[in-house]
Structure 1
Amino acid sequence: MAHTVLHSSRHVPAGWLNWIRHSCSWSGHPRLKFRTLASVVQPRVTPVSRPREGCSTPVNGSLQLRHASSQTSASDFGGVSILNDWAKHSIFVSTSTDPFFNLSLEDMLFRRHDKTKPLLLIYRDTPCVVIGRNQTPYKEINLAELNRLKIPFIRRKSGGGTVFHDLGNTNYSIHLARTTFDRHVTAQVIVRALQRLGLDAGVNDRNDICIGTNKVSGSAYKIVNNRAYHHGTMLISTRLDTLGNVLRVNKDNLITKGVASVRSPVCNLQQHNPGIGHEEFTNAVIDEFRDEYSVRTEVCFVSDSKEILDEPDIRNGMVELQSWEVLYGQTPEFTHKLERQFPWGHVVGPV
């Protein structure tokens, strides 16, 4: 008998993501990944106590627990049986903090989910640096500092610049049909989420989300055939000192055909409101996504359990992201200009 059940809710109550992350050990079943929650309409960000398995009464008046009984056929999700229940969902929150898993999950949802439906994915990563598809790591990253801190870098499949992820940063990804995709509209979804949290946020001329003159979210985009997405970071309480150190690199003598990052002053949301955390931001984005795209499906919480890790799309994606061919082999052509001053003259040589 399969032991995979779905864990979903209309909202992500404050503090719940931490409990969900440890739900496997609580359940006592090593193969249990998800549970299902049905929402009762209540104020949006309401802390709830941890539910009892099998409870069918509201918990603190905001949520009630039930088990999923999906009738979705395998063909609805490309024949991937473990993902049967995902086909009916449009909002996904990853409880994994593995950046290779989360980027593979994002790519799989982009390629395999219903191309006509809006989709939202939210996740956090342990410390890593993520470069754009057309960037040169030697120009964008302080590789010596990364090695010292034992932080990996990853080449994503979208364009744009280099970003730093840690648990103080929350990532969002909005997928839409190409015919309805508008990056200005998706940016406003995030801006309204911040305004819902009492922040005076706006969008600059580069479509970066800012508070005042400081950027709090950088964005990148991908369009393939009839599907497109806008994904971005949100600096909530990230280590800005580490961000500066790993992205600070002096490579003026490196001439590359790759896309260079645009450096901007940044700040954390908690510098403006210390009460904002991952859960509060997640709830606000979910609310605005629902309002903008008229989405009423429950939230699907995704863990990096063995069954999911064994899915070919996830497994192969994680291997690919860590391969030399992707990390370095896809680096655009570049020339390193070496300069040295000697007593007898100045020497410049391209390598």
Structure 2
Amino acid sequence: MSTLLRFRPFTARNTVRSFTLNAHHQPNSAVSAQHAIYISNSTNPYFNLTLEDWLFRHKSPSDPLLLIYRDEPCVVIGRNQNPWKEVNFDALRSHPGVPFLRRRSGGGTVYHDLGNTNFSIHLPRTSFDRHVTGQIVLRAVRSLGVTTAVLNERNDICVGADKMSGVLHRAPRLAGHVSGSAYKIVNKRAYHHGTMLISTRLDTLGDLLRPKDKDSMVTKGVASVRSPVCNLQQYDTNVTHEAFTAAVVNEFQKEYGVNEQPCIVHETDDVKNVEYIRKGMAELPTWDWAYGQTPEFTYTINRTFPWGDVSAEIRAKHGVILDCSIKAAGTSHGAVLEAFGQSFYIGKRYGFVENDEGAADEVKEIADVKVWLRGAMS
């Protein structure tokens, strides 16, 4: 039995355009042939990231596709990144309801909110050109009146010295980057996606994407490059999500000769119950995906206690602690601490180690180190 997905044309009319998706997701199903431009009406990041992946894998490889969406506040890390290196979890905990997600493409860490518009351009691998797709977005920005915008060597859109789109860490400034990009290539298909900062909360962005005391964390994953950023509205207060969306749609249509109007995607139960989308949305918030995909890393830290100096080297892979070497000076319990590091931490999930109450005869040094390392790994 097929599943009905409903889309609404991006016009003033109230007619509903519908199509049927084969339950087995055959590549020649109607959805992969009929639509070139999608605008998500949902602001659920779990839905939108999964929708993007579903479109990427089910659209005909030979056809261009554009997806535009916005999300409620969240932090999104790249496929091969380390969340403890990228996200300020102390700050994140002070923003209840703001999750972090690991997306399915590479690139750096971004902050999403309703002042930040996301675009995703999918193309055949043989005709995929990052500069061309970057120029589409650049022309859209310039058409909105920000005529000094340029495309840098990373295909990020900048005004002056700063950046306006966020696949990278950034520190807010008065001028700068407004857009950044990431890419994914699989078999015959490729996409360029990124974020456009229009009126985002740059203070929140800066707080959440600036982890403290992680310089000594060495990761085999991809580290974000810090770039100063700003909003498009700092250059033209009339720029809105709707205006940017219309401009990108127009440039996409001209570049690829697409004549059809955009279709609005609604996060309805029949869409979410499509097996691929349902499973994808369920996987994103799991520990195995969000933390368990973390590449191997080593974190070396030091602390001076009233009773002596301690250094710890923690090595983890896929979110699980492989080794914890503790060295202590100035205390007679150095050997005890070293043995404790090996016996207590190995095999446990990094960042999720619960400190038990400890035995009645537990030495103070061990109790102090437990509290210290739990905070350091959070």
Instruction: Give the shorter-chain TM-score range.
Output: 0.7 to 0.9
Question: What is aligned with 2:346?
Answer: none
Question: What is aligned with 1:149?
Answer: 95
Question: What is aligned with 1:182?
Answer: 129
Displacement of 1:207 in angstroms is: 1.9
Tell me, yes or no, if structure 1 residue 121 matches structure 2 residue 67: yes
Displacement of 1:8 in angstroms is: 1.0
Question: What is aligned with 1:48?
Answer: none
Find 1:262's aligned residue among 200, 220, 225. 225
TM-score (norm 2): 0.73
Find 1:275's aligned residue among 219, 238, 244. 238
Residue-by-residue CA offset, 1:146-165 (whole Å, 9 max, x unaligned): 12212100001111100000
Residue-by-residue CA offset, 1:221-254 (whole Å, 9 max, x unaligned): 0000000000000000000000000011120121
Question: What is aligned with 1:8?
Answer: 9
Unpaired runs of 5+ residues, structure 2, are: 165-178, 315-378
Residue-by-residue CA offset, 1:288-308 (whole Å, 9 max, x unaligned): 001111111221100101111
Displacement of 1:67 in angstroms is: 5.2
Give the letter for the 1:324 counterpart.
W
Assess, with a 3 A threshold, how the Cα gap between structure 1 residues 142 and 76 changes in structure 2: closer, same or farther: closer
Tell me, yes or no, if structure 1 residue 134 matches structure 2 residue 68: no
Tell me, yes or no, if structure 1 residue 301 matches structure 2 residue 248: no
Give the letter for the 1:7 counterpart.
R
Q: Is the 8 A contact 1:122 1:172 kept in 2?
A: yes
Question: What is aligned with 1:219?
Answer: 181
Report percent identity of matched pairs.
55
Question: What is aligned with 1:101?
Answer: 47
Aligned residues: 295
Residue-by-residue CA offset, 1:63-86 (whole Å, 9 max, x unaligned): x55554x7x7756993599x8456
Question: What is aligned with 2:209?
Answer: 247
- In 1, Cα distance between the equivalents of 2:42 and 2:276? 16
Give the letter for the 1:249 counterpart.
P
Bigger RCO of structures 1 and 2 (CA < 8 A, at least 6 apart): 1
Unpaired runs of 5+ residues, structure 1, are: 10-36, 38-50, 52-63
- In 2, Cα distance between the equivalents of 1:341 and 1:6? 61
Question: What is aligned with 2:252?
Answer: 289
Assess, with a 3 A threshold, how the Cα gap between structure 1 residues 139 and 116 changes in structure 2: closer, same or farther: same
Q: Is the 8 A contact 1:128 1:154 kept in 2?
A: yes
- In 2, Cα distance between the equivalents of 1:198 and 1:108? 34
Give the letter for the 1:212 counterpart.
G
Q: Is the 8 A contact 1:177 1:227 kept in 2?
A: yes
TM-score (norm 1): 0.79
> What is the 5 A alignment of 1:63-74?
66=15, 68=17
Residue-by-residue CA offset, 1:77-103 (whole Å, 9 max, x unaligned): 93599x845631100000000000000
Give the letter for the 2:71 counterpart.
D
Q: Is the 8 A contact 1:77 1:113 kept in 2?
A: no
Structure index of larger Rg: 2
Q: What RMSD, in angstroms, separates the aligned Cα atoms of the two structures? A: 2.4
Tell me, yes or no, if structure 1 residue 92 matches structure 2 residue 38: yes
> What is the 5 A alignment of 1:320-339?
320-339=283-302
Q: Is the 8 A contact 1:76 1:84 kept in 2?
A: no
